[in-house]
Amino acid sequence: MRVIIADDEPAALTSLEILLNTEPQVEIVATCINGIEAVKAITLYKPDLVFLDIQMPEMDGIEVLKTLDNSHLCCYVFVTAYDKYAVEAFNRSAVDYLLKPYDDERFFKSLKKAKQIILNKRTLESSLSLQKLIALIGDTDGFQRNYVKRLVSKSNGNTIVVAVDEIKFIEAQGNFVHLHTHNHVRVGNYTFKKLLQILDPDRFIQIHKSFIVCVDFIEIIEPYFHGDYILTLKDKDKTKLKLSRNFKPSLDLILN
């Protein structure tokens, strides 16, 4: 796990180095003493995790994230003596917020949390890469996979055909799913696992344990709390759906 530390206080920077060096799987790739150095190092080394002081000369930690925006997606833990920045930090998708002075137990709790998020991200990326590899192999053998163009809904004994192109998002409801189109909400007897196998993964992705969304209908992606996001859809109601941070890498891979 590649880590960068950015803190203008030498004692605080050294303390973080000592704690991180007790972790054999951690590699400190850079240390920075101001925000400008942090931006350059994050851009150059593309770390998995950054410990970022908020109050630094030339550019503070919040401005660092604003400058980077989504150009490099990694985990950030803010470290500061001022708790007034906590809300802004979480709005900027911080994994955690370490308030100085903190003890070793609090530090390692934060590190453990970051490790789990990084592991979830890598697992998702590996899964998506494998899916694309399988599709590529299928294409080279002349067996390009055909994804379904229609789903079926049952209502009062009738069978209703729902065109996949009309589906904005799919919502899990107990043992069934709700297929949301512009004009209707249809009930389908599908599991998320089955839907993710039969729908085109370049168009439909899971963003939450309860939602699959069609990326064609996404209009706005807004940062929310604790690394989550809010998606606004292109419909008359401006439907908003929560994107869990564990599913963010799958959306990034498709949009990029």
Residue 127 lies in a domain: no
Give every CB contact of residue 248 below 8 A, 6+ residues apart in sequence.
Answer: 73, 121, 227, 229
Same domain for 42 and 97, yes or no, is yes
Residue ranges making up the domain that contains 157: 150-255
pLDDT digits (tens, 9 = 90+) for 91-100: 545 788 888 8
Q: Answer whether residue 255 shows pLDDT above 70.
A: no
Q: Are residues 154 and 105 in the same domain?
A: no
**Residue 129 covered by a domain:** no
Q: Is residue 229 part of a domain?
A: yes
- pTM comes to 0.52
Residues 99 and 170 in one domain: no
What is residue 36's predicted lDDT score, i.e. its pLDDT? 92
**Rounded CA separation 142/201 (Å):** 19
The structural domain count of the chain equals 2
| 199 within some domain | yes
Closest CA to 176 of 200, 145, 146, 152: 152
Radius of gyration of the chain (CA): 22
- Is residue 139 a part of any domain in this protein? no
Q: Is residue 126 part of a domain?
A: no
CB-count burial class (<10 Å; 0-12, 13-18, 19+) for 22: exposed
pLDDT, average across residues 62-85: 76
pLDDT for 27-71, tens place per residue? 999 999 999 999 999 999 999 999 999 888 888 888 888 888 665
Residues 238 and 195 in one domain: yes
Where a domain ends, among 103, 120, 137?
Answer: 120
Compute the distance between CA of residue 203 and CA of residue 254 in angstroms, rounded to an integer. 8
* Whether residue 41 is found in the same domain as residue 102: yes
Please determine, for residue 142, whether its predicted confidence score (pLDDT) is greater than 60: no
The CATH number for 30's domain is: 3.40.50.2300
Summary mean pLDDT of the chain: 83
Instruction: Note the pLDDT tens digit of each residue in 123-139.
Output: 555 555 545 544 544 54
Q: How far is CA 169 from the centre of its chain?
A: 18
Write down the pLDDT at residue 193.
86
CATH code, domain carrying 250:
2.40.50.1020
